[in-house]
Every structure is written in C-alpha cells, then in structure tokens.
Amino acid sequence: MSYEGQCWWITGASSGIGAALARELGVRGARVILSGRDEARLAEVAEGIATETLTLPFDVRDESAMLAATDKAIEWSGGIDGFVANAGVSQRSRATKTAMEVYREIIEIDLVAQIAATQALLPHMTARQSGRLLFISSIAGKVGVPMRTAYCAAKFGLAGYADALRAELSIDGIGVHVIYPGSIATNVSRNALNADGSKRGRSDHVIDNGIAPDEAAKTMLDAVTLNQREIIVAQGMEEAMGEMRRTPDQLLDQVAAMVANGYMDKMEADG
C-alpha cells in the first residue's frame, strides 16, 4: 500500500496524535485535510506538512458544521482515501464524584461525534468501493482503567462500532482499523476533565514519559500499511494489558465471513 497521492482527513488534528499523523502522512506523500476547533493551531500544523493541505475548522459536536465540512473535503480532494476519527477528550475523576454532564460531554465528543462524522462519509466511500477508516481508541478502550469511567465507556463504544462496521464494509473494499494507544506524550492528561467538567490543567508522569507522538504515528501507519485491524501502540504494562485483550484474527475473520455469506441480506429479509 502506498500513500502517495492519496487524500486523508484527520479530526483532532491541531495537536498530539492527530498532528503527528498529519505530518507522517505528508512525509509518505498524502495530501492532508486538518480539522479541529482551533483554526490558528491547525494552520501551524499545516505549515509543517510536506504536501498540500486544507484546514477545515469546526467543533465535532456541531453536526451541521461537520456535514458542511464533509462536502468541502470531498469537493477539495475529489475523493477521501482515508479518514482518522481522532478528536477526543479524556477524564481524571472517580465515578462516585463525577457529574453526569461530564459523562454526556465525553461520550458526545469521543463516541457520538466520531460516529456521526464517519456516517457522513460512508456514502462517498462505499460509492468509490475503496478507502480506510482509522478509529483512535485507547488501551482504556480495551481495559477498564480507574478514574476514566466515561472515557472507557466512549472508547470501548468506538471500538465496538468500528468492529461491527468493519464486518459490514468488508464486502465494499473499505478497511477499518482500530488503534489502541497507551501513554503517548501529548496534552491528553492536561486537557482531561475533572469531576465537575473543568480542565485538569496538569499532566501525568506516565504521559510525559510516554511514546513520542511522531514515533507513535509511524508505528500506526506502518501497521495500517500491513492491513492490521487492531493496532496496539503502547509499551510496558500497557502493551501487555492490550495484548491480553486483543481480539483474535480468527474471530474478526469469522464475523466478516458472516457478511460475505449473506447475513445482512437474510436479516433484512426476515425484517
């Protein structure tokens, strides 16, 4: 697989993993569309990309803005070859102290908005019978981690949506990849929400000493190139936990075979 001449769209592209993936895709020859809320930061990221870019700033929770951006992205690119659902916010609070509004906000950003953006692109990709979808989950989307109940719920949910979608799209020539990062040296902890919804404002030692974003991005795209469906990017205990919960390839193949054998058509006919 070559990225040369392809067009990839990334949400949450103003920093961290999203920005690192944008830079690495540029190195590999892809044109890149950058989305996030901060237009100035998106522009800074775009300046460091070796290929042609387009910035489309919007809040992922604003569905009308997202739909308008989808139209612009397709018009600019002529065809989206890859989409990275990366926008997200984490959490650092005990469940017993966390306000329900925090659960709603994290699940809206990390799960519902990512599903909505993907659903908007699906008609375009299925019509072309090609493309790749990358969903940035987390080791916390494989293993329930204390102080992150809302985040785990959203990231587990994103992986579940992606796994089911992968099976459905397996007959349409579209690859679906779920990436499970461990501690990556980003601002994820600093931007995490406290129990009352305020920003935490400080980082964790484990995050500060985590994998460099650019290194993580290379690992992710190398794995996508090899068509790996579950991609664990972590080290030490986090990597071990992720591997313990890895879905066997045989099971993913079995579900895809159900689709190939007409499972969806039979379900619709029975309905």
CB 76 within 8 A of CB 52: no
Q: How many CB atoms lie within 10 A of CB 105?
A: 18
Instruction: With residue 53 as reference, give the H or E element that holds it.
Output: strand 53-55
Non-local (6+) Cβ contacts of 252 within 8 A are: 163, 166, 167, 229, 230
Catalytic site residue from 3, 103, 151, 180: 151
46-59 burial, b at 16+ Cβ within 10 Å, e below that, comes to beebebebbbbbbe
**Residue 265 corresponds to which tokens in the numbers above?**
């058509």
Give the SS3 label for residue 262: coil
The CA–CA distances, whole Å, from 142 to 26, 94, 154 equal: 30, 19, 11
Comparing C-alpha atoms, which of 262, 237, 238 is closest to residue 167? 262
Q: Is residue 151 among the annotated active site residues?
A: yes
Catalytic positions? 151
